[in-house]
Chains A and B, each alone.
Chain A
Amino acid sequence: GESVGLHLPTLSVQEGDNSIINCAYSNSASDYFIWYKQESGKGPQFIIDIRSNMDKRQGQRVTVLLNKTVKHLSLQIAATQPGDSAVYFCAEASYKLIFGSGTRLLVRP
């Protein structure tokens, strides 16, 4: 579900390393999940999605893993680049889309 917090969790990684961003969801009826990337001053941008009948989906440099047993979702970014610095949101959908509170990814040069 949604968490209320003024301070976003932050993940700091070295450029070139892999990043793993985690997300817990609350609704076991959710059957569709999306990761969004939001850069400063912009709206969220679609990265990758996964349906509940899958446990893994790969895109270009990104992989989403879904563990329905523990209601956990993760986004893996390979060879993280400075342009990946942003806030990442997971969103779950049952009858409507609900966003999590987000994680800030900082990429160190």
Chain B
Amino acid sequence: EAGVAQSPRYKIIEKRQSVAFWCNPISGHATLYWYQQILGQGPKLLIQFQNNGVVDDSQLPKDRFSAERLKGVDSTLKIQPAKLEDSAVYLCASSLGASSGAGANVLTFGAGSRLTVL
């Protein structure tokens, strides 16, 4: 089965510029996640979608980050304007169902999009 596809793999921008990342989850996976992974740290959840609805965006810096999953399949994550501290790998993951307690599903991750903000 095809994995989670992400693009671009690498992006270098200057601070205050904007950037967008794209994710295509595994076919049939209802839940999609965006994680931010800063160098040397574990992934941190930014936003979780169930189909095209937002389940959790409590850690998303909404003044500069936005994400959408309009048709319940592909998703985009946008940063505008970017700050130096946004330099990180942005990981997209998907799972069959919602991650919730004992019913948590296994997440399959994409390779990530590495962002460098200068």
Contact = CB atoms under 8 A, between A and B. Distances in A.
Interface in B86-115: 91, 93, 99-102, 104, 106-112
A100 B108 CA distance: 17
B105 to A, nearest CB: 10
A42 B110 CA distance: 7
A interface, how many residues as a size bin?
20 to 34
B106 A43 contact: no
Nearest to B93: A43
Nearest to A93: B104
A97 B39 contact: no
Contacts of A99: 42-44
Interface of B: 4, 39-45, 48, 56, 91, 93, 99-102, 104, 106-112
A70 interface: no
A56 interface: no
Interface secondary structure of B, over-half rule: loop
Contacts of B100: 93, 95-96
Contacts of A96: 45, 48, 56, 99-100
Instruction: List 5 tightest A-B contacts by C-beta distance, closest first.
Output: A43-B109, A99-B42, A93-B104, A32-B104, A6-B40
B54 to A, nearest CB: 13
Given A43-B4, A46-B106, A94 B43 contact: no
A93 B101 contact: yes
A5 B38 CA distance: 10
A95 to B, nearest CB: 6
Interface in A5-51: 5-8, 31-32, 34, 41-46, 49, 51
